[in-house]
Amino acid sequence: TLPQRPFTHPHQSKELAEKDQQIYGLQLRDASTTTAHDQLILLVEDNEANIEIFAEYLQVWGYRVIVACSGSEALARAQEETPDLILMDVQLPEMDGLTAVCELRKTDAIKTIPIITLTALAMQGDKARCLAAGANVYLSKPVQLRQLVLTIEQLLAEQAAMPKEPTL
């Protein structure tokens, strides 16, 4: 017979969970090939399951993630936080993603931030409309997460290589 499991106090199970998280998190980080980074991504998405999947995945890769659930919230968060990159869902409540991208491009501090638009519609003309609104890249859902990270890495590398505008 197997010995009975010792009773675990709530504070002990919390310690255990934290320890497991540390070990597991380190293993995942070792498995990733990307260089360590700490860049801030603004995730604009209204679907809770998608928020969880994208945010968790991106965090494992070392990105910091902040979330906005509508176009108008995206404008506010982008101005407050000046993220390094914006992931923009197109179908959003209040203000849709394309309108939000157009608005973001009017703001000096934000107009050069790379934006990836994500749409589930995949209708003809979607790509052109996203790029015309000011997005750098258009991806249609379902998105391959690895593809998403590769796209993010590429845009951030291009951004870093861009000469800074002289300040007058």
Could you tell me which stretch among 3-11, 27-35, 90-98, 158-166 binds Mn ion (CB under 5 A)? Answer: 90-98
Instruction: Assess 89 for contact with Mn ion (CB under 5 A).
Output: yes
Strands (E), the chain: 40-44, 64-68, 85-89, 115-119, 137-140
SS3 146: helix
Q: Which residues contact 37 (CB under 8 A, 6 or more apart)?
A: 62, 63, 156
Q: What is the closest distance, in whole angstroms, from the C-beta atom of residue 120 to Mn ion in the complex?
A: 7
By beta-carbon proximity to Mn ion, the closer residue of 39 and 103 is 103
By CB under 5 A, the count of residues binding Mn ion is 3
Instruction: Assess 84 for contact with Mn ion (CB under 5 A).
Output: no
By beta-carbon proximity to Mn ion, the closer residue of 91 and 159 is 91
The residue whose two tokens read 């209708």 is: 123
Burial call 109-122: b when 16+ CB within 10 Å, e when fewer = ebeebbbbbbbeee
Which listed residue (59, 91, 99, 140) binds Mn ion by CB under 5 A? 91
Instruction: Assess 50 for contact with Mn ion (CB under 5 A).
Output: no
Which listed residue (41, 42, 44, 46) binds Mn ion by CB under 5 A? 46
Binding site for Mn ion (CB under 5 A): 46, 89, 91
